[in-house]
Amino acid sequence: MIARWALRVIVAMLVGLTVVAVRSGAWAQSRPSIRAAALPSDVEVGQVFVFRLTAMVSVSDQPPDKPSLSLPAGFVLRGGPRVMPQTQVSITNGQMQQSVGIEVSWQVEARAAGRHTIGPASVLWQGKRFESGRVQVNVHPPGTLPRRQDPFDLFDIFGLPKMPGGFPDFPQIEEPSLPPPDPALAMAAPLARTVFLRAEVDKTDCVLGEQVTLRVYEYVSGGAPRQVEAHEPPAVDFLQRPLLSPDDEPPVRYAEVGGEMWRVRLIRKVALFPLKVGTLTVGPMDVDYQGAGLRARTPRHTTALQVRVANTPEQGRPVGYRAGDVGQFSLSSEVTPTAVEQGGSIAVTVKLAGVGNLPLSLDVPRRKGVEWLDPTTRDKTDVTDDDRVRGERVFTYVVRMLEPGAVDLGAIELPFYNPWHHAYEVASTRLGVVHVTPSAQPVSSAPEALDRFASVGPLRRELTPAPARSRLLTDSPLFWVGLAGGPAGVLLLGAAASVWRGARARVSAWRDSLRRHAAVALREAREAAARGAVGEAAAAAERALHIGLEASCGLKSRGVLRDDLARELQSRGIQQQQALLASEILSRCERLRFEPGADAGQATKLVEDLGNLLDALPRPRKAKDVSS
């Protein structure tokens, strides 16, 4: 008994504890933790101070938003609210608790002296508005508030009077200042909660080969989501050059998005050089996030961007301009040595420098007796302060001098389109003159190996006629007739034979049909009646009636008693009048056959009645074969 009571008490305690725990947990999650403060709480009239509100919730919840502050008379709002995302980690009893939320600041100016109460401030969370406590602020008349001692003012550390004409007072730091928001990154509304991406290009119209800079920003509000997977924005119609190295960590900036302050980080900066004209697309960048402020793995992506690429203008396009050579370039060169023996080689080093997509090759001046071999190239590129690709490409040519004398190598020219000047320009460098001394040994003008057509066949010296071409089969109508004629002929013949056989079968069936037999018997009866052969007419009429009945309803009436005949016929769908008439005609047939005094008129009447009856009998859907 005692044990049972003890058990009940333990169960009740456990249930009570569970309810308390659940209710406390539910309460803990049912409202955010909100703190408010005025910094400082003692101000003079006309002084601006900060009213700060901090609202934190569990890391698994969405942070609060939409802060609001109501000010009493005597205070004027000078700025704010500025919303800063917050993340807090605390360890209580060995358990780590993480919370997210916002810290909101308003700049408030005191206008009336006295002891005032400000607030409450409030935030919106999960559809409900939660308020902070009220905050006391003491507003003193102007000049009555003791000056706060600056602990870092070495000149005032002992309360000494200030040096006349000395350093002016530094402004008092009332509140750790928020970083200034970047208006260029501001947005009217966030694209998603907690974290989103935004991509932009610095221009949407450009010419073929002109640099377009793509930037992708990551906006974060509250929490600390981390990237778990990222897919770069596809841009197959562009030559791409990343402007951020993996080691680069651009500074975090802040921007106002929908009235709140978001952290903004530049995560991609890519120089794009269009490879074709038309409307080209930069695809979306996809990033999956996880972590504080997000319930699960959350995908985010940028929107696709379009860039309209046009050809450079045709007007003024210099000869030798190659599509895509857009930028601002310069050429310089060095030739060593400038004196060489015939057949010897010199080195021509051409340095191409400038801003833009550096051309991959140069057109060298072709001169008689000067053979340019393929160059080796060396590149060095970096990025200007305004994110332009800048660099230099050094081409080193080996040039064979095959003819003696003072050989003017000419100049290397690079026509390009300058998008900043909207005009074509030509970078040029003169290579100068090389003095080639004659060689005693003959110099081959070009190595044999360079003749890439040496294996071409010999000259043909006879004007041979073109080989006769056989007429193609498909050009002959007979081919197509023959192609279809064989199978079609067989099929047509088969069909004709089938039709012939069917016709013959139908004729044969008609000949063998009961109705035909009945008609034949009836005709014989008529002929016998006409001849006056009464018995013969009656016999033929009886046969015609039996066959006609069988043809009409399938009844073999020879095996049926005459008294039962009318009933049997009615049971097979023959009308009563016709059934009775059939029975009567059979009786008359018997009488005529065996009555010696019967005359031809009775036989004729019988045959007529029989003919009418056979015509009136219903026709079966399908005639039955006599043999059946």
Partner 1 sequence: MGRRRGTAALAAATVVAWVAVCAAQPRDSADLFHKGVESLAAGDYDKAVDAFEALADRGEASPAAAYDRGLAYLARVRGKSERPGDLGRAAAAFEEVLLVDPDDAEAEHAVELVRAEVARRRARRSEGEVQARPSLDRIVVGLAPEQVWAWSALVASWVLTAGLVLRKAPRGPRYLAGLIATPIGLVALLVFAPLAGYARHLRRTVHPAVVVVPEAPMLDASGAATGRDPVPEASRVELHEQSGDLVRIRYGTSEGWTHAAGVRRLRASW
Q: Is 447 in the site for partner 1 (CB under 8 A)?
A: no
| Residues ≥6 apart with Cβ < 8 Å to 224 | 87, 291, 292, 293
Stretch that binds partner 1, among 40-48, 220-228, 411-419, 450-458 (CB under 8 A): 450-458
Nearest distance from C-beta of residue 206 to partner 1, angstroms: 14
- Angle at which helices 600-616 and 514-531 cross, to 10°: 160
473: contact with partner 1 by CB under 8 A: yes
The contact mask relative to partner 1 for 16-35 (x = CB under 8 A, - = no) is --------------------
Provide the minimum distance between the beta carbon of 234 and partner 1 in the complex, in angstroms, as a whole number: 18
Give residue for tokens 């709002």: 77
Determine the Cα–Cα distance for residues 522 and 529; give it in Å rounded to an integer. Answer: 10
> From the CB of 322, what's the least distance to partner 1, in Å?
8
Tokens 């929908």 found at: 258
- Nearest-approach distance from CB 542 to partner 1, in angstroms: 47
Please report how many Cα atoms fall inside a 13 Å half-sphere around the Cα of residue 58, on the Cβ side: 11
| Distance in Å, CB of 472 to partner 1, minimum | 6
Three-class SS state of 180:
coil
Does 385 contact partner 1 by CB under 8 A?
no
Tell me how far, at minimum, the Cβ of 209 lies from partner 1, in Å.
Answer: 13
Smaller CB separation from partner 1, 500 or 510: 500
- Distance in Å, CB of 278 to partner 1, minimum: 4
Q: Does 278 bind partner 1 (CB under 8 A)?
A: yes
Beta bridge partners of 271: 213, 241
Q: Residue 466 interacts with partner 1 (CB under 8 A)?
A: yes
- The distance of closest approach from Cβ of residue 243 to partner 1 in the complex, given in angstroms and rounded to an integer, is 23
Tokens of 245: 């190295």
Residue 589 in tokens: 């047939």
Q: Can you read off the two tokens belonging to residue 578?
A: 């016709």
- Residue 554 touching partner 1 (CB under 8 A): no
452 scored as a contact of partner 1 (CB under 8 A): yes
465 contributes a contact to partner 1 by CB under 8 A: yes
Burial of 387 (0-12, 13-18, 19+ CB in 10 A): middle
Q: Applying CB under 8 A, which part among 270-278, 331-339, 569-577, 610-618 lies near partner 1?
A: 270-278
d(CA 525, CA 372): 124
Order of strands, edge to edge, in the sheet holding 278-282? 205-207, 305-310, 278-282
Q: What is the C-alpha separation between 319 and 321, in angstroms, rounded?
A: 6
Q: Which is nearer to partner 1, 20 or 481 (CB)?
A: 481
**Under rule CB under 8 A, residue 365 binds partner 1:** no
Task: Please state the closest distance from residue 308 (CB atom) to partner 1, in A.
Answer: 11
Tokens coding 226: 């981390």
Q: Which of 169, 248, 379, 451 binds partner 1 (CB under 8 A)?
A: 451
**According to the binding rule CB under 8 A, does residue 277 interact with partner 1?**
yes
Q: How far apart are the first and last CA of the chain?
A: 100
Q: Which stretch binds partner 1 (CB under 8 A): 100-108, 127-135, 272-280, 421-429?
A: 272-280
Backbone angles phi and psi of 217, in degrees to 5: -110, 145
Query: Contacting partner 1 (CB under 8 A), which of 161, 442, 467, 596?
Result: 467
Q: Using the rule CB under 8 A, is 361 a contact of partner 1? A: yes
Instruction: Look up residue 455 and give its amino acid.
Output: S
Using CA atoms, how far apart are residues 294 and 98, in angstroms rounded to an integer? 13
From residue 141, give the alpha-carbon distance in Å to each of 42, 150, 223: 11, 22, 43
- Residue closer to partner 1 by CB (options 80, 327) is 327
Considering only residues 289 to 318 of the shown chain, the ones binding partner 1 according to CB under 8 A are: 309, 311
448 binds partner 1 (CB under 8 A): no
* Binders in 493-512 for partner 1, by CB under 8 A: 494
**Part of the chain binding partner 1 (CB under 8 A), chosen from 70-78, 339-347, 465-473, 539-547:** 465-473
Residue 15 or 490 having the CB closest to partner 1: 490
166 lines the binding site for partner 1 (CB under 8 A): no
Amino acid identity of residue 532, one-letter, is G
347 strand-pairing partners: 336, 398
Neighbours of 377 (CB within 10 A): 15
Residue 491 found at the interface with partner 1 (CB under 8 A)? yes
93 scored as a contact of partner 1 (CB under 8 A): no
Decide whether 465 or 559 has the Cβ nearer to partner 1.
Answer: 465
Identity of the residue numbered 561: L
Interface residue with partner 1, options 1, 96, 296, 456 (CB under 8 A): 456
Nearer to partner 1, 160 or 466 (CB): 466
Please tell me the distance from the alpha carbon of residue 169 to that of residue 173, in angstroms, as a whole number: 12
Please give the single-letter amino acid code of residue 395. Answer: F
Grouping H, G, I as helix, E, B as strand and the rest as coil, residue 249 is coil
What gap in Å lies between CA 528 and CA 524, rounded to an integer? 6
Interface segment toward partner 1; rule CB under 8 A; list 378-386, 479-487, 525-533, 585-593? 479-487
Binding residue for partner 1 (CB under 8 A) from 165, 176, 246, 457?
A: 457
Q: How far is the CB of 281 from partner 1 (least distance, A)?
A: 13
Minimum Å distance from CB 413 to partner 1? 15
Say which residue the tokens 């101000």 belong to. Answer: 43
By CB under 8 A, the count of residues binding partner 1 is 39
Q: How far apart are CA 29 and CA 126, in angstroms?
A: 11
**Does residue 337 have a cis peptide bond before it, meaning omega lies within 30 degrees of 0?**
yes
Applying CB under 8 A, among 385, 386, 448, 475 the residue interacting with partner 1 is: 475
| 453 lies in the binding site for partner 1 (CB under 8 A) | yes
Residues 195 and 228 sit within 8 Å (Cβ to Cβ): no
CB of 372 to partner 1, least distance (A): 11
484 binds partner 1 (CB under 8 A): yes
Please return the burial class of 592, using the count of CB atoms within 10 Å of its CB with bins 0-12, 13-18 and 19+: buried
Q: Please give the Cα distance from 125 to 192 (Å, whole number).
A: 17
DSSP state of 453: T
Q: Which residues contact partner 1 (rule: CB under 8 A)?
A: 276-278, 309, 311, 360-361, 374, 451-453, 455-457, 459-467, 469-470, 472-475, 479, 482-484, 486-487, 489-491, 494
